[in-house]
Structure 1
Amino acid sequence: MDHWRVPYLGLRQIPAELNEFELNIFFTFSTRERTLIDARRKGLYRLALALHIGYLRMAGRTLDAYKYVPKELWAHLGKQLNIHAPDIGTLRALYQTRPRTLVDHQQLAHKTLGFAIMTEHQRRYLVRWLKEILSGCPDSSTLLAQIKVWLYDHRILISHDRILKHLIAEAIRNHESYLEETLSKRIGTPVIEQWCRQLLAPESKYGGNLQQWLWKVPLRHSTAQMGELFDKIECLYALEGVVNWPIELNEALVRHYARRCAKRPPSISKRIQFPARQLEAACFIRYALCAATDQLLWMFRRWVMNVTHEAGKQVDVNRSNETKATIELAEAIKALAQDKSLQLVSLRTKICELADQVLQYHAPSRLSLIRLQLMTKNQQVRAMFTKLVKLPFKSETQHPVIDAITVLRSLYSKNGGIELPNSVNIKLGRAWRNAINGYDRVNALHAFEWATLFALRLALRNGSGYVDHSFSFRSATALLIPEGEWKVKRNYYYGHLNLPQDPRVFLDQIVEHLDQGLERLHNAVIHGEVRIDVDGVHVESFAAQCEDAHLDALRRAIFKDRPLGQLPEIILEIDSQVRFSWILLGREPRSRSELLLVYAAVLAHGTSLSAADIARMIPELSSKAIRQMMRMTADERKLREASNMILEFMHRHPIAAHWGRDDLASSDMMSLETTRTVWQARVDPRRRTASIGIYTHVRDRWGIFYNQPILLKERQAGAAIEGVVRQSKADDVTQLAVDTHGYTDFGIAIGKGLRFDICPRLQHMRDRRLHVPIDHRAPAELLPVIRGDVNLESIVAIYDEFVRVVASIHSGHCTAVQALQRFGSAARGQDVYDGGVQLGQLLRTIFLIDYFTNPEFRRELQHALNRGEAVHTIQRAVHIGKIPTELAKRWETLAAVSSSLSLLTNALLAWNTQHMQRAVERIEAISSEKLQPEDLRRIAPTNLEGINLRGTFDFPLANYASRILPSSVRKVMPSTKGVAG
C-alpha cells in the first residue's frame, strides 16, 4: 500500500475539507461501479450509494448515516452522476424512516469493493501475523497503523480503534509472557531477579546507579574510555551476564526492551510488576554487554590504526634522508676529481670504493621500520592485550588468531609473559616471522603480540573471528540464512530472487551480454567514436551547456509568483496534504500543542538546533516537552515513512515526470560536523572537522527515498545497496549511480543478484581494464585494455553460497552493510569473496562498455549524481551547524537526525514542486501551448531564494486545521441538522 493512504485508514468521519486529488482517487468510480450505482431508482439513493463506496475505499470502514458530509463532496458526486447536489449535512434525513435501506447500501458497498466482516478464522490468522510482527518490530505505537493496512489489504472491514487496541494489547501480553517463560527456563528466575536488584544499586567508582552507568556511551575515543568499557564488561561478567542467550529474543527485541528500561527513571522502574520487569532487566543486561563489546572492539580497531600511524610518523622523522646521502656521495666524487695529487689508477680505485659502499647498503623498507618501532611500544600492547584476552574470542574453524590468544592468555596467567616459548609455532604472517623466530625470545614475544593484534583486527573485520555477545562482531555464518533452512527453502529463495539454480545458465547470460558489448565497443573503435591505446580507453568529453536565455526566462516565470516561504508554513502546507504528523504519532494529533511538539521534534532532530533553541523559537513550547516528544518520534522507520509520503506527494505532480527516469537513482554521502569528543566521529578529509556521514539515495526525479548514518572513511557499497533493498518500492530502481566510494566489485555482484545494477563513476575511468574469462576471444583492437583473468569455474564453485549471501540480505537476516563489511578486502582469500569479485569484474566490464559506447547513458549517470549534490546543498542549508553532542552519541539518535533532515529536505522540494506545477499550468493556459519537456527537465525544485529557514517560528495553524486536526475542528463546529434538499 502507498504510504500516503495510511492516514485515511479507519477514519471515523469524512474530513471536513477534501482536495481535488482525494476526490478523484476515492470518489471517482469505474464503469462497473457506475453501472451498479445507476441501477438505483432515486437520485438521492444513487448519491448515497456512491458516498458509501467512496468512503469505504478511503477509510476501509462503514459510513454512519449521522456523519457530516462536506458540501464540496456532494457537489463532486453530483457532477460525477449528473444529479443535482442536495443541501444536506448528513444522510440522517435520507435514512431516518428507512433504516433497512442504510444497511442495504452499506452491504452493497462491501460487496462492490470486496470487503467483509472479520471471521474467526481471519482473527486467528491476524493474531499469528501480529506475533511475527512483534518478533521483529515490538514497538506498539506503529502496530495500530500496520493492522489497519493488513485489514485493508485483505479486504476486511476495519473495526473500531478500541477493538484493535484490545487485540494489540492481548497479543503483546501473550508475546511477552512467552518471552518471560523462555528466559526463566534458559537463564533462571533467581539470576534475573538478582539483575533487577543490582541495576538499581549505586555504582561506586563512576557514580550514579548501575543502570545509568551501563547505559552511558563513551565520551570520546581514548584509552581511558576503553578502560571504562573493560570495567563494564568485567562487571557484567560478575553479574553472570554471559549466558546462553535464547535465540527467541533476537536483536530487535533486546534493543526495544533495553531502551524501554533505560528511558524510565529508576524510581519508576521499582513500581513495574515483576514479570515485565524481569524481561526488561534481562534484555538490558544483554544489550549492555553486547553494546559495550561492540564499542570496545570498534575503538580497539581504531586504536591499532592510530598507534601504527604514530609509529609511522616517528619512523619518517628518524629515517635517513636519501637525498642527503646522494649529496654526500656527489660531494665525495667531486672532491676526488679535484684532487690533482691522485693518479688515474688511484682515482678509479677510490671512486669504485665509494660506489661499493653505496651498492652494499640496503635501506630497510618503511614498513619494516614501523614494525621495529611498534616493538618498542611493548608496554602499550601488553596493557591492551592483558585485558583483551579475557574476551571469549571464537572461530568456526581452527584459526591462528584464536590459538595465539590462547597462548597469550596462558603466558599472562603464569609469569606475566616475559619470553615466548620456543615450542610456539603459530603462523601469523610472513611480515613478523623472522622476529618471532629470532633468538631473542623477549623481542619474539613483543613481535608475537603485535602480530596477533593485527591478525585479530583483520579477523574481526572479515568475520573469521568473533564474539558471541556482540551485535556487530558476530560470526559470518550467524549473519546468513542457517544452513539447514537454506537446504530446505533453497528453491523458494532462488525463485524469489528470480535467479537460475544452474550457475552455468546464469554465467552464459552474462557472457552473452559481454560478447555483445565487446562487439559494440569494437564497432565504436572502428568508427572513431572511441580510441583505445596502451594508456586506456578515451572518449570525448561533453561540452559545457551554453546559457539559454529562453530557459532563464522560463525559470524566472515559473518562480516569479511563488510566495515567500517561511519554514513553519511550508511544513504546515505539506502536512495538510499528506498528514505525515499522523504517521509520527500513530494517530491524529489531539491538540494544537501536540501537533507543534511533533514539528518541534522534527526540527530539533533535522537541524543543528537544540531543544532549548527550538523552545526559544516557538515560545509556547517548553524544552522539556520537546525533548520528550523527540524521544517519542525518534524512530527512523516512522520518520522514513513520513518522508516517503512527502516524496509520493511530490511525484504525483505531472511536472515531476519530466525531470528524469523513474527507475534511475543516485546515492552519495555528505558529512555533518559534530564535536571532536564524540567517539564515533572521524575527521572529514575535505573539511578537516570531526564529522558523521549521512548517506542519501536520491531519485532521478528528485527527492530522497532512503537515508542512513555511516562512519567516515569506510567503503559505502553496503550502504548504497541497503538503500535500494530496504526502500518500500525496491523494484522501481533498476540502476543506481554511485561514486568511487560506493563501489566494490563484490558489491556490483551483490547488486546484480538483487536485480539492480550499480553504475559507478570511477576515478581514472579511462585507465580501467576490461576483464574477460580466461582464453576468451576478443577483437584485436581491444587487446590493449583486455585482461583475460576471470576464472568462470571459480564462480561456478561458489555460486550457491553466493546466492545464499544475496538471499540473506534480501530476506533481512543481515543488512547489506554487515554483509559487505564481512566480504570486503579483509576477506581476500575466502572462496566466496574471490569468486564474487571475479563475477563483479565481469559485470563491471559490461557496464564500462555501455559507459564508453553510449553517450546518452553517460550523460544520464552524470545528471543523476549532480542531483544528489544539489540535494546535499539543500540539506546543508537546513542543517548549518554541528550535530548536538547528545544526538551524536548513539546510532539510534543519529538515524533520527538523518531521517528528520531527509523529511525536511523533501518537504522543501515538494513545496517548490507544488508551486512550480501551478505556475506551469498558468503559463500553459495563457499561451495555449504545452511547455517543452526538455526545458522542464532543466528546471529543478531546488530554488531556496525567498525561503526563510530561521527566525521565530510562527505556525498559522488556523489556515490548515481542517485537514490536519479535523476532529478538533469538528468539535467547535455548530451541529448541522439533516434537512432534505
Structure 2
Amino acid sequence: MDHWRLAYLGMRHFPHELTEFELNTFFTFSARERALIDGRRSHLYRLAVALHLGFVRMTGRTLDAYKQIPKRLWQHLGEQLGIEPPDLGTLRALYDNRTDTLADHQRLAYDALGFQPMAEHQRRYIVRWLKERLSGRQDRSTALFDLKQWLYEHRVLIVHNRALRQLIVQAVQDVETALTRRLEATFGAAALDQWGMLLPRPESGGASLQQWLWSVPLRNSTNQMGELFRKIERLTKLSVHCSWPAECNEAVVRHYARRCANRPPSVSKRVRQPIRRLEAACFMRYALCVATDQLLWMLARWQRKMVNEAGSKVDAKRPDLKAQLRDFATAVKALATDVTLAHDALIERLVQLADTTLAQSGPSRASLVRAQLLTKQRVTRAMLAKLLTLPFASETSHPVTDALEVLRTIYVCGERELPVDVLVPVGRAWQRIVTGEDRVQALLAFEWATLSALRVALRNGSVFVEHSFAFRSRATLLIPDDVWKAQRNHYYGHLKLSQDPKEYIEPVCEHLSEGLERLAQAVSRGEVRVDTAIHLDPMSAQRAEPAVEALRRAIFNVHPDGQLPRILLEIDSETRFSWLLLGREPRARSELLMVYAAVLAHGTSMSAAEVARMVPELSAGAIRQMMHRVADERVLREAADAVLGFMHRHPIAAHWGRADLASSDMMSLETTRTVWQARADPRRRTASIGVYTHVRDRWGIFYDQPIVLNERQAGVAIEGAIRQEGTDDVSQLAVDTHGYTDFGMAVARGLGFDLCPRLAHLRDRRLHVPVSMSVPEALAAVVDRDVQLEAIEVIWDDFVRLVASIQSGHCTAVQALTRFGAAARGLPLYDGGVALGRLFRSIYLIDYFTLPAFRAELQHVLNRGEAVHTVQRAIHQGKIPVELTRHRHTLMAVSSSLSLLTNSVLAWNTMHMQQAIERIETLGQTPVLPDYLRRIAPTYLEGINLRGTFEFPVADYAHRLMPSLAIGMPMAGREARG
C-alpha cells in the first residue's frame, strides 16, 4: 500500500475539504459499481450508496449517518451520477428512523468492495500476527497503522481505534510476558531484580550506572578504550555475558534498552514488574554489545594510528628519494659534459657512480615500519593483555584464537620470550622475525602479527565475539542450514535464479561475447580508442536552448515565495505525514507544532534549544521529548516516502526521467572533532558524518542512511535499493567509484538490479572474460582471460544462499559485503563472487562505451543526486548537534528527517510548477514539451526562506490536519485556536 493512503485508514468522518485527487481516487466508480448504485430506486439513495462506497474505499470502515458531508463531495457525486446534489450536511435526515436502510447501504458498500466484518477466528489470527510483528519491531506507535493496513489489505472492516488498541495491548503484554519468562529461566528472577536495582545507583564520577553505561566515547583514544574495557568488565561480573536467549533478538534488545535509557533512572525504579526486569536485562545486554562493538572499532582505528605514526617516523629518517635522484642525474650530467674525460674513463666513472647508487638501496619501507612497531612494546602488550579478557571465538580452529591462547599462557607465566615450539601461522610479513634467533623480538613480532590477523579476522567474521551486534559470526548472518535445506527451492524461485549455475552463466557469456563484437566495431569506426586501456572523448556540455530557458522563466516567474513552516504545513495537509510520525491524528495545535519542531531539530543544524527560540510557543524540554518519540528512522522514512509519493502524483514528474533508474551517493555533514565516529572529509578537511542517499531519476530521496566516511559504499548502495519502499523496484542504480566492488556487482545482479559505477581509475576499465572465450584482435590489449567459470559453479549454492539471506533480512547488505567481501579474500565464495562480478562489470563497460545515450543517462542521474545534495546543504547549514551524534539511532533520525525536509521542499516546488504549467498550457503562448520539462528541476531555492522566526499558520490547514477538532467548529473558533 502506498504510504500516503495510511493516513485515511480508520477515519470516522470526512475531512472538512477534499482535494480533487482524493475525489478522483476514492469517489470515481467502475462500471460494476455504477450498476450497483443505479439499482437503488431513488436519487438520494443512489447518492447515499455512492457515498458509502467511496468512504469504505478511502477509510476501510463504514460511514455513520450523523457524520458531516462536505458540500464539494455532494457536487462531485452529483456530477458522477448525473443527479442534482441535495442540500444536506449529514445523512441524518435521509436515514431518520431508517436504521435498517442505513445498515443495508453500509453492507452493500463493503460487500461490493470485498470487505467483511472481523470474525472471531480473524481476531485470534490478528493477535498472533501482532506477536510475530512485535518480535522483530517492538514500537507500538506504528503498530496501529500497521494493523489498519493489514485489515485493509485483507478486506476486513476496520473497527474503532479503541478496539484495535486493545488487540495491540493484548499482543504486547503476551510478548513481554513470554520474553520476561525466558529471561527469568536463563538468568533467574533474583539476578534480573538486582540489575534493575543497580541501574539508578551511582557508579562512575557521580553518574548512575545507567547513565555511565549509556554514555559513548568522547574521542578515539586509549583512555576511552580503557573506559570501554571497564564497562565490559563491570557487566561481565554481573554475568550479563552469559548465554542470551535467542527469542530476545537484536530488535527487542534495542527497543527496550532505548525505552529504559530515555527515562531518568529515578523514574525507571517505579516501573512495574515484570516489565522492569525485561527493560533492565535488555539495557544491560545492549550496553555490553555496544561497548564491545565500540571497543573493536576503536581497536582497528588504534592499529591504523600506530602504523601511521610508525610510517611517519620512518619517512622522517629515510633519505629523500627525490633528492637522491636529483643528485644522481646531476652527477651523470656533469660527467657527460666533462670534455676532459676520455671515452673509457667516462664509462668507468659512470659504472662507479651506478654501483655507488645501487649500493645505497636499503630495506623496504614496510620492513622499516614493522621494525618501528616493535619499539612500541609497552602499549602493545598492555592492549593485548586487555583484549585477552574478551571471549573471542571461531567456528573452527583458527590461527588467531590459537595465537591468543599462546599469548595468554605466556602472560600468565610472565615470560618475555616466545617459545621455539610455537608454530602458529600469523602472517608471512612477520614470519622472518617470529622464527628468528632473537626470541624477545620474536615475541614482539608475534604480538603485532596477532593484532593484525585479529583485525582482518574480525572484519571477515571468521573470529567473533558472542556479545556483539557488529562482530557476530558469519553463520548468524546466513539463513540457518536446516531452513536452507527445507526451503532452498523457494528462495531460488523468489530470486528468479536457476539452480544449475551453467544455465545462469551461459546467457551471461553469450551477452558478453556479443558485446565484445559490438565494442570491436565501435573501435573500427573510431568511436572508441584502445591502447593499454579504453578511452572515450570527453562529453560535451549540453547547450542551453532558448525555448527551455523561456519555459523555465515562465514557470518560476510566478513561483510564490516560501517560508519553511508554511511549506511543511502545506505538504502535511496533502500527505498527513504528521499522522504517520505520531501514529494518530494530532490532538492539539501544540502537539502538531512539536512534531514539526522535532523534525527541524533533527534535520537541521539547530539544537532543540535553538528551535525553541525560533518557535516561541514551545519549550526546549517539550521538543526533546517529542524528538525521542519520533526518533524512529522507520516512521520518519515512511513520512518521507509519503511526501515522495505525493510529489510523483503530479503529471510533470513523469517527464523528469525513468521510473526504474536511480542514483546513490554520500554527502558529508560536519560535526565536531570529538565525536568518535567522525572522520575527516577528504574535500572539506573537516570532521564529518556521512549521509548516504538514494535519489530517483524523477527526483526525490527514497532511502537514506548514515555511514562512516572513507569506507567502501557498495553495501549501503545495495541496501538502499532493496530495502526502500518509496518507489517501484530499481533496475539500475548509478554510483560512483566508491559505491561498487566486483563482489558487490555480483550480489546486486543476484538481487535483481544492476550497479552502474562511474569508474575513476583506468585499471577498472579492463574487460574480464572466461579463459576459453575468443576475443577480437582489436581488443586484445584491454581484455584479460582470467575468469574461471568453474570457480563460479563451485560456490553457486553458497552465493545464492548469501543473496537470499540479504533479500530475506537475515543480514544487511552492509554486513554481507563486510564479512564476505574483500576481507574474505582467499575464500572460495569471495573468489567465485568476484569472478561473476567481473563478467557483469565487463558487460556494463561495453554498454557504457558503445551506447552514448546510456552513458548520458547515467551522468544525468548522478548529477541529479548532486543537485539534491545542494538542497540538503541549504536546509542543514552548520554542524550536527553533539547530542545527536552519540548513538546510531539518533544519527539515523538526523538522516531521515533531513530527507523528509528535502522531499517536502521538492514536493512544494513540484506542486507549484504543475500549477504554473497548467496555466501556461491554458494560455498556449509558450510551448511545453516533455524534453523541455525533463531539464527543469524542482530544486529551485530562490525565494524560499529556510531560517528566521518560524510562524506556523495552523488555522489555514486545521481542517485537513486535525479534522476531528475542525468538524463542527465555527470558522471563527478555528481561527482563534489557530
The bucket for the TM-score relative to the shorter chain is over 0.9
Q: Distance in 2 between matches of 1:385 and 1:52?
A: 72
Name the structure 2 match of 1:48. 48
1:808 aligns with 2:796: no
Name the structure 2 match of 1:510. 508
Q: Distance in 2 between matches of 1:578 and 1:339?
A: 86
Retained in 2: the 8 A contact 1:67–1:91? yes
Residues 273-301 of structure 1 show CA distances to partners (whole Å, capped at 9, x for unaligned) of 22111111111111111000000000000
Q: Distance in 2 between matches of 1:344 and 1:895?
A: 75
Q: Distance in 2 between matches of 1:767 and 1:304?
A: 29
Residues 601-630 of structure 1 show CA distances to partners (whole Å, capped at 9, x for unaligned) of 000000000111111111111111001100
Name the structure 2 match of 1:967. 964
Local SS of the residue matching 1:889: coil
CA distance change for structure 1 residues 554 and 326 in 2, over 3 Å: closer, same or farther? Answer: closer
Q: Distance in 2 between matches of 1:725 and 1:551?
A: 36
Spell out the pairing of 1:250-289 with structure 2 (5 A cutoff): 250-289=249-288
- Please state how far the C-alpha of 1:827 moved relative to its aligned partner: 1.1
Q: Distance in 2 between matches of 1:800 and 1:728?
A: 28
Local SS of the residue matching 1:149: helix
Q: Distance in 2 between matches of 1:767 and 1:170?
A: 57
1:74 aligns with 2:64: no
Spell out the pairing of 1:124-203 with structure 2 (5 A cutoff): 124-203=124-203
1:311 aligns with 2:310: yes
Q: Distance in 2 between matches of 1:730 and 1:399?
A: 45
CA distance change for structure 1 residues 403 and 619 in 2, over 3 Å: closer, same or farther? Answer: same
Instruction: Identify unmatched segments of 5+ residues in structure 2.
Output: 973-978
- Please state how far the C-alpha of 1:824 moved relative to its aligned partner: 2.4
Q: Distance in 2 between matches of 1:133 and 1:340?
A: 91
Name the structure 2 match of 1:676. 673
CA distance change for structure 1 residues 798 and 347 in 2, over 3 Å: closer, same or farther? Answer: closer
Residues 450-469 of structure 1 show CA distances to partners (whole Å, capped at 9, x for unaligned) of 11111111111111111000
Local SS of the residue matching 2:93: helix
CA distance change for structure 1 residues 590 and 328 in 2, over 3 Å: closer, same or farther? Answer: closer
CA distance change for structure 1 residues 105 and 433 in 2, over 3 Å: closer, same or farther? Answer: same
1:913 aligns with 2:882: no
1:3 aligns with 2:3: yes
Retained in 2: the 8 A contact 1:537–1:767? no
Retained in 2: the 8 A contact 1:421–1:441? yes
Retained in 1: the 8 A contact 2:769–2:785? yes
Alignment counterpart, residue 438 of structure 2, candidates 430, 437, 440: 440
Local SS of the residue matching 1:837: helix
- Please state how far the C-alpha of 1:524 moved relative to its aligned partner: 2.1
Retained in 1: the 8 A contact 2:663–2:697? yes
AA aligned opposite 1:519: E
Local SS of the residue matching 1:405: helix
Name the structure 2 match of 1:209. 208
Name the structure 1 match of 2:484. 486
Local SS of the residue matching 1:589: coil
CA distance change for structure 1 residues 82 and 410 in 2, over 3 Å: closer, same or farther? Answer: same
- Please state how far the C-alpha of 1:483 moved relative to its aligned partner: 1.2
Name the structure 1 match of 2:831. 834
Residues 712-748 of structure 1 show CA distances to partners (whole Å, capped at 9, x for unaligned) of 0000000000101101167521000000000101111
- Please state how far the C-alpha of 1:327 moved relative to its aligned partner: 6.5
Local SS of the residue matching 2:207: coil
Retained in 1: the 8 A contact 2:195–2:280? yes
Q: Distance in 1 between matches of 2:337 and 2:879?
A: 66
Name the structure 2 match of 1:468. 466
Local SS of the residue matching 2:430: helix
Retained in 1: the 8 A contact 2:577–2:639? yes
Q: Distance in 1 between matches of 2:141 and 2:326?
A: 75
AA aligned opposite 2:874: A
1:654 aligns with 2:656: no
Name the structure 1 match of 2:542. 545
- Please state how far the C-alpha of 1:212 moved relative to its aligned partner: 1.0
Local SS of the residue matching 2:559: coil
- Please state how far the C-alpha of 1:399 moved relative to its aligned partner: 1.1
Retained in 1: the 8 A contact 2:702–2:726? no
Q: Distance in 1 between matches of 2:333 and 2:828?
A: 59
Q: Distance in 1 between matches of 2:242 and 2:375?
A: 39
CA distance change for structure 1 residues 170 and 767 in 2, over 3 Å: closer, same or farther? Answer: closer
Residues 132-170 of structure 1 show CA distances to partners (whole Å, capped at 9, x for unaligned) of 100101111110000000000000000100001011101
- Please state how far the C-alpha of 1:970 moved relative to its aligned partner: 1.8
Name the structure 2 match of 1:820. 817
Residues 216-260 of structure 1 show CA distances to partners (whole Å, capped at 9, x for unaligned) of 111111111001000001111111111110111100000001111
1:399 aligns with 2:394: no
Q: Distance in 2 between matches of 1:124 and 1:747?
A: 43
AA aligned opposite 2:525: H
Spell out the pairing of 1:941-960 with structure 2 (5 A cutoff): 941-960=938-957
Name the structure 2 match of 1:978. none
Retained in 2: the 8 A contact 1:724–1:730? no
Retained in 2: the 8 A contact 1:207–1:213? no
Retained in 2: the 8 A contact 1:653–1:917? yes
Alignment counterpart, residue 423 of structure 2, candidates 402, 422, 425: 425
Retained in 1: the 8 A contact 2:551–2:926? no
1:937 aligns with 2:938: no
| Deviates further, 807-816 or 535-544 | 535-544
Name the structure 1 match of 2:844. 847
CA distance change for structure 1 residues 331 and 129 in 2, over 3 Å: closer, same or farther? Answer: closer
Retained in 1: the 8 A contact 2:127–2:170? no
Local SS of the residue matching 1:771: strand
Name the structure 2 match of 1:30. 30
| Deviates further, 895-904 or 396-405 | 396-405
Retained in 1: the 8 A contact 2:460–2:823? yes
Q: Distance in 2 between matches of 1:835 and 1:828?
A: 11
Retained in 2: the 8 A contact 1:675–1:882? yes
Q: Distance in 1 between matches of 2:97 and 2:672?
A: 71
Retained in 2: the 8 A contact 1:640–1:706? yes
Q: Distance in 1 between matches of 2:318 and 2:848?
A: 46
- Please state how far the C-alpha of 1:541 moved relative to its aligned partner: 2.9
AA aligned opposite 1:60: G
Retained in 2: the 8 A contact 1:536–1:768? yes
AA aligned opposite 1:110: Y
Local SS of the residue matching 1:541: coil
1:221 aligns with 2:215: no
Spell out the pairing of 1:561-600 with structure 2 (5 A cutoff): 561-600=558-597
Q: Distance in 2 between matches of 1:215 and 1:708?
A: 22
Output the TM-score relative to the length of structure 1: 0.97
Retained in 2: the 8 A contact 1:537–1:766? no
1:249 aligns with 2:248: yes
Name the structure 2 match of 1:521. 519
Residues 819-843 of structure 1 show CA distances to partners (whole Å, capped at 9, x for unaligned) of 1111222211011111001100000
CA distance change for structure 1 residues 261 and 781 in 2, over 3 Å: closer, same or farther? Answer: same
1:111 aligns with 2:131: no
- Please state how far the C-alpha of 1:351 moved relative to its aligned partner: 6.9
AA aligned opposite 2:428: R
Q: Distance in 2 between matches of 1:218 and 1:969?
A: 49
Local SS of the residue matching 1:698: strand
- Please state how far the C-alpha of 1:549 moved relative to its aligned partner: 2.0
CA distance change for structure 1 residues 327 and 570 in 2, over 3 Å: closer, same or farther? Answer: closer
AA aligned opposite 1:761: R
Name the structure 1 match of 2:528. 530
- Please state how far the C-alpha of 1:208 moved relative to its aligned partner: 1.1
Name the structure 1 match of 2:609. 612
Local SS of the residue matching 2:274: helix
Local SS of the residue matching 1:296: helix
Q: Distance in 1 between matches of 2:393 and 2:165?
A: 45
Aligned length: 972
Retained in 1: the 8 A contact 2:332–2:350? yes
Retained in 2: the 8 A contact 1:536–1:767? no
CA distance change for structure 1 residues 678 and 831 in 2, over 3 Å: closer, same or farther? Answer: same
Instruction: Identify unmatched segments of 5+ residues in structure 1.
Output: 976-981
